[in-house]
Amino acid sequence: MYVSYMREKTMKILGIETSCDETAAAIVEDGRGALSNVIASQVDLHKPYGGIVPEIASREHLLKIIPVIKEAVNNAGIGLKDIDGIAVTYGPGLAGSLLVGVNVAKSLAMSLELPLYGVNHLKGHIYAAWVMGDPPEAKAAFPFVCLVASGGHTELLLMRNYRDFTLLGQTRDDAAGEALDKAARILGLGYPGGPAIQKAADGVCSKEQMPRAWLRGSLDFSFSGVKTAVLNKARNLGLLEGKNRTEAQEKTARELAAAFQESIVDVLVNKTIAAVKKTGAHGVIMGGGVTANLLLRERMIIAADGLPIIVPSPSLSVDNGAMIAAAAYFENIPVGPDGLNLDIVPSLSIA
Ligand code: KG4
Ligand code: ZN
């Protein structure tokens, strides 16, 4: 059975997300079922720089946040008066970006006299699994192993129940997404790196081998070694930056991308399954931008050998407002709202 708070009417939460480079807002009813989910991506603005420029990100959030919220409310077919609570990411993330969302959320909560809920972005990635379709506990009983893999984080957690998380392992250096973004830049494949590497590797049968850091049975991760390996190979082959390449060099770049993707996916899958074996969990929940990766999804399902793998659609794996509204419903509502003194915590940890 899944949680159902006894209420006379459903609870519609506006979820606001501005922690990184997506300005996002959504209306979610009772933590499940997004009535709307609007995302304004800044990818094209940051592309020329090969990565996120924090100053550009926060300025763009300022321009987009009100239109995005209006669109989310309109698309849901409701008015502001129908909203029952305001949820917003208060960390982790870029300080200037977080400030935009948190201040808009506070203003709305104050003017509409609604409860305000500060949400941990990483928990949002986990609760994205509740937003559409059957909830995870309809597929397997608690506990779940959760793999959160994004641009800034790679974490394994044991979720024993709602609001009950234990950290099992985390990256000791680069996050998986960060490594993918850096490798794509090294190989001249573009930004953001995860989708660029997935595309470049598609259909490529690579004989290249990239290292894997197993860390002697630990559930921690390390991706800096494989990043250095791709840098050294690309340098030796004259592939850096991707300028004026021959057709053969393009092919080699795609082979290196495929081998790199294999290495990252192999480590993520093996450590997640090791966490399941260690904890006796009944299923796996995957969240965060990297879990949009098709090879990762495919390999995880194969390695799980029948154990339920719960992963939201790719549009809910990347940053969005619906996951923030869902997390508020399950995590924040039972303990009550935050005050209007809610502040950003850029280095907020997950557990
Ligand atoms: O969760 P997310 O949207 O934002 C953060 O919280 O960081 O994750 C962004 C990360 C980026 O590193 C991006 O390259 C990666 O997710 N990503 C992918 C894919 N789509 C996005 N990585 C691998 N395969 C993908 N299809
Ligand atoms: Zn994220």
User: Using one digit for the tens of pLDDT, what is the confidence trace for 147-184?
Assistant: 999 999 999 999 999 999 999 999 999 999 999 999 99
Residue 194 Cβ contacting ligand 1 at under 6 Å: yes
Q: Stretch 269-273: mean pLDDT, rounded?
A: 98
Domains of the chain: 12-132+315-335 (3.30.420.40), 140-311 (3.30.420.40)
pLDDT digit string, tens, across residues 283-320: 999 999 999 999 999 999 999 999 999 999 999 999 99
CB 171 within 8 A of CB 156: no
Q: What pLDDT score does 68 carry?
A: 98
| Ligand 2 mean position, distance from CA 345 (Å) | 15
**34 has a pLDDT exceeding 80:** yes
> In this structure, which residue's CA is closest to atom 10 in ligand 1?
151
Q: b/e per residue, 230-246, with b = 16+ CB within 10 A?
A: bbebbeeeebeebeebe
Q: What pLDDT score does 349 carry?
A: 95
Identify which of 330, 306, 305 has the alpha carbon closest to the alpha carbon of residue 135: 330
Identify which of 175, 166, 121 has the alpha carbon closest to the alpha carbon of residue 348: 121
| Ligand 1 mean position, distance from CA 149 (Å) | 8
pLDDT digit string, tens, across residues 37-77: 999 999 999 999 989 999 999 999 999 999 999 999 999 99
Give the H/E segment covering residue 37: strand 34-41
Provide the pLDDT confidence category of residue 7 given band limits of 50, 70 and 90. Answer: low
| Ligand 2 mean position, distance from CA 259 (Å) | 25
Place of tokens 């840098």: 231
Q: What pLDDT score does 1 carry?
A: 44
Q: What pLDDT score does 242 carry?
A: 61
Q: What pLDDT score does 69 carry?
A: 98
CB 170 within 8 A of CB 153: yes
Give the mutation target among 41, 120, 150, 268 for probing the ligand 1 site: most ligand atoms within 8 A of CB. Answer: 150
Q: What pLDDT score does 220 carry?
A: 98
CB 342 within 8 A of CB 106: yes
Residue 21 Cβ contacting ligand 1 at under 6 Å: no
**Percent of the chain scoring above 70 in pLDDT:** 97
Q: Stretch 207-214: mean pLDDT, rounded?
A: 94
Q: What pLDDT score does 238 carry?
A: 85
Q: What pLDDT score does 245 carry?
A: 84
Model's pTM, two decimal places? 0.95
> Cα 201 from chain centroid?
21
Q: Stretch 111-139: mean pLDDT, rounded?
A: 97
Q: What is the DSSP letter of 337?
A: P
Place of tokens 């929940």: 285
